[in-house]
Every structure is written in C-alpha cells, then in structure tokens.
C-alpha cells in the first residue's frame, strides 16, 4: 500500500461517523472502567472498602499521569501499585483457603 493510499484510508476511516463513535466510546470507557471495577469490589465485600477505593482512585490517578519525570511518575502510580499488590495477596489467600466442597464439585465433571 502506498503512502497516499494509506493516508486516504486513515482519513476516510477515522473521520467517519462510526470511527468517531468508536473512538469516543473507547475514550469514555477508559475512564469509566476503573470506577465500575471499584464499585464492584466495594459491593462484593470480598475486600476491605478502603482497598476498593484505593484501587479506583489509584487506577484513575495512574491513568492520567503524564511522563513528567521518574520520581513524580513513581509517586503518582504508587497507590495503584499498592492496591494491585494487596488485591493479589488477598486473592492468593482466598485460593489457598478454598473450601473442600468447591474442590469436590470441580472433580465431579466428566471429561471426554
């Protein structure tokens, strides 16, 4: 594909109504998804409420962090990193303490 053909393709597709709608929905959902995940964690009561809030706020803060220097970026992304590490620890502990009844149910499936 020539450069001119590629340029015409990009302009035709990304200036179209459906292309703009897709881009707008994608951009909006990028900011909405962490909030929905935080609300889901909050309502599930599987993690402490403060961890659900830390996850949502940390994700939003990390998502909006610009490249402004290593120390500032690390400080702004640290809350999300801490939230993810704490969620991983809680999931690991939950997996280790899975009830034997659940394990028994999983072994009752017939494989072919």
Separation between Cα atoms, residue 36 and residue 22, nearest integer Å: 20
pLDDT tens for each residue of 74-101: 888 999 999 999 999 988 887 667 655 5
Separation between Cα atoms, residue 62 and residue 33, nearest integer Å: 13
Most confident of 14-28, 57-71, 72-86: 72-86
Residue 43: which of 31, 32, 56 has the closest Cα? 56
Domain boundaries, the chain: 3-96
* pLDDT for the residue numbered 40: 93
């Amino acid at each position: 594909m020539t450069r001119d053909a590629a340029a015409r393709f990009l302009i035709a597709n990304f200036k179209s109504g459906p292309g703009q709608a897709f881009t707008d929905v994608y951009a909006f959902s990028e900011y909405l998804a962490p909030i929905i995940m935080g609300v889901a964690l909050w309502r599930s009561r599987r993690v402490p409420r403060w961890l659900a809030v830390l996850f949502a706020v940390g994700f939003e803060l990390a998502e909006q962090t610009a490249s402004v220097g290593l120390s500032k970026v690390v400080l702004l992304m640290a809350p999300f990193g801490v939230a993810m590490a704490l969620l991983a620890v809680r999931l690991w502990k939950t997996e280790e303490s899975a009830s034997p009844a659940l394990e028994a149910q999983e072994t009752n499936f017939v494989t072919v």
